[in-house]
Chain A
Amino acid sequence: MRRVVQAQGASRGLALGRARVRQSQVFDAAPELISPQAVDGEVERLHLAFDVARSELMEMRQRLQGALAHELGEFLDLHGLILDDPELLHGLDDLIRKANYSADYALRLQRDRLASVFEGIDDPYMRSRREDLDHVIGRVHSALHRNPGSDVIGLAGDVLVADTVAPSELAQLTERGVVAVITTQGSALSHSAILARSLHLPLAVGAHDAFAKIADGDALLVDGSSGEIIIEPDADDLRRFKHLQRETARDRKALQRLRDAETITLDGVTIRLFANAESRDDVAQAYELGASGVGLYRTEFLFLQGRESPDEDQQFLAYRDLVMGMRGRPVTLRTLDLGADKADSAGICVQGEPNPALGVRGVRLSLSQPPLFRTQMRALLRASAYGKMNILIPMVTCREEISAVRQLIARCRDELHDENHAVAKQVNLGIMVEVPAAALALPQLAHDCDFLSVGTNDLVQYLLAMDRGNEALARSNSPLHPAVLRVLQNILKFGQRRGIPVSICGEMAGDPVFTTLLLGLGLRDFSLHPSNLLEVRRRIRDVALSDCQRLCRRLLAAKERGQMERLLHGGAGG
């Protein structure tokens, strides 16, 4: 029987595959007693599951490679230690032998006991360690429920259905040929979603009733753009899928021809496409696709991956690799943008803030920790000698913050000079425009800035007072609101008038649906993930600026979201 589950699209692409459900049932395993004769077998089953989990971790450890190998490796080592932890193992056998509980229930009791200790500590860092514990126990639990030798995360042709998926798993999933992922939780703005998009792995999130409706082995048709999941698709669905698949293949080929093409509108206006790059692969791809530079490098990923803050030399090497990777094209590095909602594992962030999105984050956090900020600034300035570098400050609200950063730069420059380090003569300083106050006070703020970068993800969240991670608001949380468009238009006009370059680096800039709108609003510098670059380039080459401006006027006059959507999907010519 054909059924439909509606989720949210988080990484586009269509996929047809067989469901592989990974439900973490351990957390609600029911009290189950086994017969005394079954005890030996049950204990052995549990030990075997631990062995399987151990060898899986070891296998993952050995297969790690690439940019994130070091950091992911440390996570896996930690999971390995948890798996062998005497606190976890102790008493587990007795729960089966003496109390005659099933292995599932014994595992759940142990997990609950340990988790309650972690939960007693009010510290986001400790809470995330509880997630580590859950991942490990979940791995043992799923090993209990399958034949040895089969795989926990899916095989070629599978669609993984899970509560959440860790960023560290995604690369392995694609490598194994998993065709799509469906999660019951999560948001399109999570780090996993961003990674899925760069891997071209279709992902649908927030599929609340997926576990109730989808069974192992069901045929699933997943649309990662609309978030529609069709269970047991019928003949019409399959024909439509085949047709779309052929079209997609043709489309990819056509896109590849644009690798060396100029980014220019039909009426001859040149647009610059910069890349949002996190890894070396991103940088290499950006260079190859002819990006004008790197428009946003988020330095916090260096801090999020490790178990402690990277020191000056580690940061310097990472920044230098990036700058050299673009071979002279400009690279914009954003200083640490952490907050309690995006906490690192080294404990830099202020903990227990009641409202982290409005708390000590971005430049506020950096300025509150002078030694940390100074280390980063020194590393950045040292790397500036190897290419063309811009420094971008996140979450700026007032001019004092910019002045403080300028002073820090001047001081670090003097120190480095005395220590005989090379530093570029010209390092441009820009600010993220993402706090509404900054967008409204640009004449005062921009005085000290060489460029502006609009972070639409946060700007939209703050303008609409809608948490970007809140699934319940995901549908209304869109840049298609008159207030957002007006603010964007004002920022872009201000930049043009004052000759200050303005780029947009939010997800909006990489979404071809918004390309004509942004052109019409006056945007000339886009900053987007390399995986979206060719598509946005094609969109730009297909339109005339004058048409975009006309569309934009109509959008600004539109009264409601539905009307805006119709105009947008009608295209610039409509």
Chain B
Amino acid sequence: MLEREVTVINKLGLHARASSKLVQLLSTFRANAFLLGRGREVNAKSIMGVMLLAAAQGSTLTLRIDGEDEAAAMEAAVALFERYFDEGS
């Protein structure tokens, strides 16, 4: 099991579009993935779960991934956060 802190740095936060990208990305991996933040723990492969976190710009979340391809999944997910979800800013 891997755990990493990620910060939401894109301007719009984890609204629908960014959430969709994260869910789509993680769903290509076999490992289970969870996001923890604001006192909640949600399934990071669930679009409704991720949207419910309503994480705004600046929030810090914990990403927990567990499964055979966890390293690759973590690397890809962290990169997506760091790329501002390809939203430019």
Residues of A at the B interface (CB closer than 8 Å) are 74, 77-78, 81-82, 84-88, 114, 117-118, 121, 123, 125-126, 129, 133, 307-309, 311, 345-347
Would you give the shortest CB distance from A344 to chain B, in whole angstroms? Answer: 11
| Beyond A87-B46, A121-B54, A308-B87, 6 additional pairs, beta carbon < 8 A | A74-B17, A81-B23, A84-B27, A118-B48, A123-B54, A133-B48
In the complex the two chains form, is B54's CB within 8 Å of A86's CB? no
In the complex the two chains form, is A82's CB within 8 Å of B48's CB? yes
In the complex the two chains form, is B87's CB within 8 Å of A126's CB? no
Residues of B at the A interface (CB closer than 8 Å) are 11-13, 15-17, 20, 23-24, 27, 43, 45-49, 51-52, 54, 87-88
B11 / chain A contacts, CB cutoff of 8 Å: 308
What secondary structure prevails in chain A residues at the interface with B? helix
Q: Known: A121-B52, A307-B17, A346-B12. Is A85-B87 also a contact (CB below 8 A)? A: no
Could you list 17 A-B pairs, sorted by A, with CB under 8 Å? A74-B16, A78-B20, A81-B24, A85-B47, A85-B49, A87-B46, A114-B48, A118-B52, A121-B52, A125-B15, A126-B51, A307-B15, A307-B17, A308-B11, A308-B17, A311-B88, A346-B15
Q: Known: A77-B20, A308-B12, A347-B12. Is A129-B51 also a contact (CB below 8 A)? A: yes
B47 / chain A contacts, CB cutoff of 8 Å: 78, 81-82, 85
B46 / chain A contacts, CB cutoff of 8 Å: 85-87
Name B45's contact: one of A74, A86, A118, A347 (CB within 8 Å): A86
In the complex the two chains form, is B15's CB within 8 Å of A308's CB? yes
In the complex the two chains form, is B48's CB within 8 Å of A78's CB? no
B45 / chain A contacts, CB cutoff of 8 Å: 86
In the complex the two chains form, is A345's CB within 8 Å of B54's CB? no
B43 / chain A contacts, CB cutoff of 8 Å: 86-87
B49 / chain A contacts, CB cutoff of 8 Å: 85, 87
* In the complex, residue of chain B having the shortest beta-carbon distance to the beta carbon of A120: B52
Would you give the shortest CB distance from A300 to chain B, in whole angstroms? Answer: 17
* In the complex, residue of chain A having the shortest beta-carbon distance to the beta carbon of B12: A308
A126 / chain B contacts, CB cutoff of 8 Å: 51-52, 54
5 shortest A-B CB distances, which residue pairs? A307-B17, A81-B47, A87-B46, A308-B12, A85-B46
In the complex the two chains form, is B15's CB within 8 Å of A345's CB? yes
> Complex: how many Å from CA A86 to CA B13?
22
> Complex: how many Å from CA A77 to CA B52?
18
B20 / chain A contacts, CB cutoff of 8 Å: 74, 77-78, 81
B87 / chain A contacts, CB cutoff of 8 Å: 308
